[in-house]
Chains A and B, each alone.
Chain A
């Protein structure tokens, strides 16, 4: 497009569609990133297995639909409970022992968990690409000249709800305040009588529940396979850094920015460049605003 030329109807049409795509894609990224930013922000653990929990959520939706004919939206409430429980179990078995260890140990642990989960899925369910086709995944809504996919719209709406719910939870509940306190200074929180082990357990479980639910919601849109999580998780890290660690609303805005860079970059410069563009953005944020675009200054060093 020649920027000097006035926009014709075709350009306006394209632009409108790009905006819609950015918002919907951003919704999916936000859905995946909120759980990660919660765990990252409160526990200061980079959960490299995050994508694998997403993959498990996708498989849950797949099997529920294939074996029981259950729509992913019916599975959603069950998945929250199920993944919360899975979070408690993985915390007790894996994370608890390394929570006070160095970052290196934590990285190796979560990478190990990631590889283990991928391979368990591969052994149990093979490397096949699998798909579900609930009725809403094929429904196309049209508004003016733009087109939306219904499953994507629902995913976006629920991403906003989930983000706001977690934001409100952290901001206004007692447990939320305790979590924030622990994030800011683990030792001081312990001295104040906060059971930090309980806080971490809860944080981990909520984070896993959020990403499990995200998996269920994206299952109608993407294929399900053992390494499906890798498709999204790298982006989720970019989003978390952009939005500021532990900042829910920042994660939502960060997701929209990453999606915008991706969509506009693919359209204007070329698809091959989209990763270059958002990683440049990522590096720029790390250099100039290490606390994230929306984070509190200095937050990145808290609790380290």
Chain B
């Protein structure tokens, strides 16, 4: 059996190549003295597991990049991972990571339902909670000195959405923002409410838009959107501001089409609902048109970033490509960008001692375009990264793909179907 005899040989060669690769890498970077462990908390089982695992993957990709670039504080960065299925588990896993694994910093957590509970638990031990993705505005409004958030908060999403509607859509419809009729529709989680209320306030106060409806629904038990569609159809809005969670986006879009409900644009924010790849899988080209505020997607002009940002973004994209064979997805981008900022702070502070860490974090001041996703950094006293530094992008569904369309200086692609025409003419 020739093949069987060859197997050990092949293995030996593979091992040699691997060993060479390892030495190759370590000869480039400085030798790392010891390990530095942080806790990573994500939902890895339960209904949020899919997104949680993608975030963890983003952390792991960035951890390896960091370790190839000198680690943190000269040490090799390693993870103790906790599974935050629900808020109770998030809190108890945070406790476990702190008391059993001895971590002084915890990072996570995909969902807004989890970050509150987990960070409370961490705060009781005076442990730093470095949030990279949850956007519940309350997270940084509890007066906790231990919490930091690299991602925008929900009010920032609302701010950006209205910015896009007022400054990009309204001129293309040929009307003033104050002439726009806008309907707000949202699932009723803290996330949906946070974004929607911020958007409502800015739309009304700053631009005087005409709000024709504001409806909340429980996404898990809404099996039919026809009544809402019929109602909104009579109110005749130009723009629908819809924060959706999952299946509700597909159902609303499908039933709006069935009822031949014609509005000029639909705008969403975040990685759920219209921001999830599932929307395109479910509808294909029938899903053409809706906008979702997200991290940069296809069409993103890396050249528009600052030189240091470009380098980082390119290396990150290559690493994601190697690991997953695809373009970086939202979860990867949030986790990785956040972890890189943590490294910058730790390297400057030289310690995880809270007060020194805090002053290093607050002193960090990087303009937009310096980091992955074109982000910059400037933390406020409450630990929130400034919304205007966390550059966000409007993506649009075009033929089964979410592509970057705004701000236009950051993308090669352009928004289509403005205003949205009849349902059968959006090809």
Q: Cβ of B234: which chain A residues have Cβ within 8 Å of it?
A: 10, 14
| B-chain residues with CB within 8 Å of residue A271 when the two chains form the complex | 215-217, 222, 227-228
Judge whether B247 and A262 touch: CB under 8 Å: no
A272 and B226 contacting across the interface, CB-CB below 8 Å: no
Cβ distance B265 to chain A, nearest Cβ, rounded Å: 22
How far is A126 from B179 in the complex, measured between Cα atoms in Å? 46
Q: Among A28, A122, A140, A234, which residue has its beta carbon within 8 angstroms of that of B49?
A: A122
CA distance A262 to B227 in the complex (A): 9
Q: Which B217-231 residues have a C-beta within 8 angstroms of A?
A: 217-218, 220-224, 226-228, 230-231
Judge whether B224 and A222 touch: CB under 8 Å.
no
B293 to chain A, nearest CB (A): 20
Q: What are 25 contact pairs spanning A and B, CB under 8 A? A: A10-B234, A17-B259, A18-B230, A25-B226, A126-B49, A127-B47, A127-B48, A127-B51, A129-B247, A130-B278, A130-B281, A131-B282, A147-B260, A222-B223, A222-B247, A226-B47, A230-B220, A234-B221, A235-B221, A259-B224, A266-B231, A271-B215, A271-B228, A272-B215, A275-B218
Inter-chain contacts of B286 with A (CB < 8 A): 138
Chain A residues with CB under 8 A of B49: 122, 126-127
Partner of A25, one of B224, B247, B258: B224
Q: Is A270 part of the contact surface with B, judged by Cβ < 8 Å?
A: yes
Complex Cα spacing A274 to B227, Å: 11
Complex-state Cα separation, A130 to B282, whole angstroms:
7
Residues of A within 8 A of B281 (CB): 130-131
Of the candidates B216, B224, B257, the one whose C-beta lies within 8 Å of that of A272 is: B216
A122-B47, A274-B222 are known contacts; what are 19 more A-B pairs with Cβ within 8 Å?
Answer: A21-B227, A122-B49, A126-B49, A127-B47, A127-B50, A128-B50, A129-B246, A140-B258, A149-B254, A149-B258, A231-B221, A231-B223, A231-B247, A262-B224, A263-B227, A270-B216, A271-B217, A272-B188, A272-B215
Near A by CB (< 8 A), chain B positions 36-80 give 45-51
Taken residue by residue from 248 to 259, chain B's Cβ proximity to chain A (1 for < 8 Å, 0 otherwise) reads as: 001100100111
Within 8 A of B (CB), among A112-142: 119, 122, 126-131, 133, 138, 140
Q: In the complex, A274 Cα to B254 Cα: how many Å?
A: 21
With a cutoff of 8 Å between Cβ atoms, the chain B residues found around residue A264 in the complex are 227
Query: Chain A interface (Cβ within 8 Å of chain B)?
Result: 10, 14, 17-18, 21, 25, 28, 119, 122, 126-131, 133, 138, 140, 147-149, 222-223, 225-227, 230-232, 234-235, 259, 262-264, 266-267, 270-272, 274-275
Q: Indicate whether A21 sits within 8 Å of B220 (C-beta atoms), given known contacts A129-B276, A147-B258.
A: no
A122 and B46 in contact (CB under 8 A), knowing A266-B228, A271-B222?
Answer: yes
Name which residue of chain A comes closest to B216, CB basis. Answer: A272
Contacts of B228 in A (CB 8 A): 266-267, 271
Cβ of A223: which chain B residues have Cβ within 8 Å of it? 246-247, 250, 278, 282
Specify the main secondary structure of chain B where it touches its partner. Answer: helix
Complex Cα spacing A226 to B246, Å = 13
Q: Could you tell me the distance between the alpha carbons of A259 and B224 in the complex, rounded to whole angstroms?
A: 9
- Pick the 5 closest A-B CB pairs, nearest first: A131-B282, A266-B227, A271-B217, A267-B227, A21-B226
In the complex, are the beta carbons of B250 and A18 less than 8 A apart?
no
The chain B residue with its CB closest to the CB of A146 is B259
CB distance from B197 to the nearest CB of A (A): 14
In the complex, what's the smallest C-beta–C-beta distance from A271 to chain B, in angstroms?
A: 4
CB distance from B221 to the nearest CB of A (A): 6
Q: Give the distance in Å from the alpha carbon of A126 to the alpha carbon of B278 in the complex.
A: 13
Report chain B residues within 8 Å CB of A138. 286
Closest residue of chain B to A10, judged by CB? B234
Note all chain B residues with C-beta closer than 8 A to A128.
Answer: 50, 278
CB-CB under 8 A for A133 and B282, given A17-B226, A119-B45, A271-B216: yes
* From B230, B247, B276, contact of A267 by CB (8 A): B230
In the complex, which of the residues A225, A271, A272 has the most CB atoms of chain B within 10 Å of its own CB atom? A271
Q: Which residue of B lies closest to A126 (CB)?
A: B50
Contact between A225 and B47, CB atoms less than 8 A apart: yes
The distance in angstroms between the C-alpha atoms of A148 and B258, with both chains bound, is 7
Task: Decide: A28 near B223, CB < 8 A? Known: A128-B50, A138-B286.
Answer: yes
- Tell me the bound Cα distance from A202 to B250 in angstroms: 38
Which residues of chain B are near A147, meaning CB under 8 Å? 258-260
Give the CA-CA distance A58 to B277 in the complex, in Å.
20
Interchain CB contact (< 8 A) of B46 among A21, A127, A230, A262 = A127
